[in-house]
A and B are shown apart, each in its own frame.
Chain A
């Protein structure tokens, strides 16, 4: 079954509002990666987190890896229409690489 779940599955926000997607794994992960897929496109790597409790920022995006290395979050401050797309987390456990179920973000101008 699916080992990495994300919530919410869909999120609609007004432009300027904040957005957060959460990623939860049933097992401890070696690392977590985040990808963005624009509508009609393919997943593109955003960032990787490796350390327990790690926090990284990319402009308006903040990524966090949980202390137990079983969960992660992506927070976008003041969303813009260019943020539209589906955000996936992906975790490594052993030799396996599991993608989350994804969160589809719609930004209403």
Chain B
């Protein structure tokens, strides 16, 4: 969905490097999410934010941190990248009701060597 953008789209980095993935949305949604996708494991939630002052850990937050700079921006950082963080990362947004539809960005493919 063009309303949710992610940068970069692809990234290759080395073990130990700090990496930041960025997400921006123009849907006016308060809720934003970061997921990683691995074959056979589906989409796993890393962090989510229900508004600018709210940050919550998901299933697999270890090794990651996030920053909600504004309603429209939610960035994911890997402080010291490791090879098993090689994955496809998706940002998503949703409205504030329970079970609101999630709108996904195009994804960032990250390779950690």
Contacts and interface: CB of A to CB of B under 8 A. Distances in A.
A42 B45 contact: no
B104 A43 contact: yes
Interface of A: 2, 4, 6, 9, 30-31, 33, 35, 41-45, 48, 50, 88, 90, 92, 95-102
Given A42-B106, A42-B107, A99-B35, A88 B101 contact: no
Interface of B: 1, 33, 35, 40-45, 48, 50, 56, 90, 98-99, 101-107
Contact of A42 (B42, B44, B56, B104): B104
Contacts of B98: 30-31, 92
A99 B42 contact: yes
Contacts of A96: 45
23 contacts: A4-B42, A30-B99, A31-B98, A41-B106, A42-B90, A42-B106, A42-B107, A43-B43, A45-B102, A50-B99, A88-B42, A90-B102, A95-B50, A95-B56, A96-B45, A97-B33, A97-B45, A97-B99, A99-B35, A99-B43, A99-B45, A100-B42, A101-B41
